[in-house]
Structure 1
Amino acid sequence: MIERSDDEDHVRQLLEMRRLADELHLMLGGDSAEDEGISVVRGQDGILNVYEEMMGEARGEFWGCDRPPYADRRPAVSDQVAVFLRKKSEGIRFRMLFDTAVLTVPNGLQRLRGARISGQEVRLLSGTPFKIAIADRSTALIASSDGSELDTALLVRPSPVLNVVVAFFEMFWAAATPLRMELQSGSGDGSPISEQEHDLIALLVAGLAEDQIAEKLGLSVRTTRRKIHGLMETLGAETRFQAGVKATRLGWF
């Protein structure tokens, strides 16, 4: 028996993800197909209303793939946290996949913190081509992230297309980096980092420049550079990217 190498499995997974992405792009660019369980939702208000209905009607699990662009009328992060906490108390399991592009928008870190506070399972991945919401694997809302505005989405009900959307999410979830929910500060075993250091690692993984990281954290560029170099020294990393990778492997991130 010939065993597949990790590299071969990774390439095969990337090709399959690209195939699914191409299929979904074709669906988003086509006409509504009511007989296939697909309908087009137009306008930001319409998309937000459908999303809120799906969240309200979820009974077992709710999955999401979050990335820009965002609706102008999106709820405040604090309001979203309240909704997630209420649904979690009802027994809903949340799996939220954030594209690293989220960290480039003004309240990106707040969105990640909100997910952490509300107890969601959260992962980070770069280059996700869609915004997705899936409720109980029975309904999905999907929108392309190609444009600068969120104005059109597909509402997908039980159908072969829904199976593709679910498979697409599962593959991206498997490839993403888990985001640690509980942080332990101080020294000793576990994750000896503060919340600010956790955010710093997230921004490094997202590939932001030092001045962008400084702005996100509310620090001077000089202080940010010092913190980055301190983190790299602690981890024995030669580059900022390597520091993010090592922190992830150690379970700090």
Structure 2
Amino acid sequence: MTAPAIGLEANADLLYRTMLGRRHWTTTELVGRLGWSTDRLSAVLDDLSREGLVAESAEQLGALRAVEPCLALPAMVARRFRGPVRDGLPPADEVARFVAMNQPPAGRVGERSRFEGLDDVASFVERMAATVRGEVVQLVPTFVPGSFEFSRQVAEAVLRRGATLRIVWSSKVLEEPAAAEHAKWLAVRWSAPRVVDHVPMRVTLVDGATAVLHDDEGCAGVIQSTRALDSLTLIADRLWRNGVEVGNTQVHADARSGGARNEMVLRLLADGLTDDAIARRIGVSVRTVRNDVAGAMAGLRARSRFQAGVRAVQLGLV
């Protein structure tokens, strides 16, 4: 069977598929596996990094890992779709087939009673973020380089699906420049973190149905017990209410235009709303909506509004 085309240059495609085979890699290991020079590998890794397909390892200094396809590929396509040149989009069915081929074996989420390390936890959270329906809540007591709590890919996936992202940090997290920069990035997307003096636990809750909880030694486990989830939710809600929003939360006017508006138009288009209804929902003129819809149809190579909506869903744009 022919391997699905995912819109990458040949070297980048090979490297990404190779990296999916293990939890994380050092550059020395990749050079040995692929037989490439260090310069060639570095150049291709830079390409994958710009596309959001690789991330820093949270458990091995200097190592890198592949971001889960179900999260990384829709984000890549969304960025290309928003760009000035709307070509180079991989076929929607090929992207969907590649994601399906790289999904973990079927089974209930709760069957993940243990993880192989922090990068395994990150992959698990990425898969949950790619399917979230309502809300992701994160309680973060410390800054961990390479952690999914500071991943733009994870945050983008949650927000692109129209879900809410609520983040509470311990005040010492903001002492890290990378965290402060991430807070500014989140604020422009209406998701500024809140800060309290002390966060008692490191936990990520998804849709109130699943939680990833880290113990004092950094080991993580999955929680789906209703009683435990209710307790974690009460703690998260209390911390959120008591938290102070980070930095300047004034949203720039241009944050509501361009890419953010295009994604909202696509989402409402996929829901079957008319141009008039979409215009009323997001507060712009009908002409603006029609221009966005026409651009979406051209960018997605769709012959109808319905087909544009379907392809947007297939590609993970909404």
TM-score, normalised relative to structure 1: 0.49
When Rg is computed on C-alpha atoms for both structures, the one with the higher figure is 2
Q: Which has the higher strand share?
A: 1
Q: Which has the higher contact order (CA 8 A, sep 6+)?
A: 1
TM-score, normalised relative to structure 2: 0.40
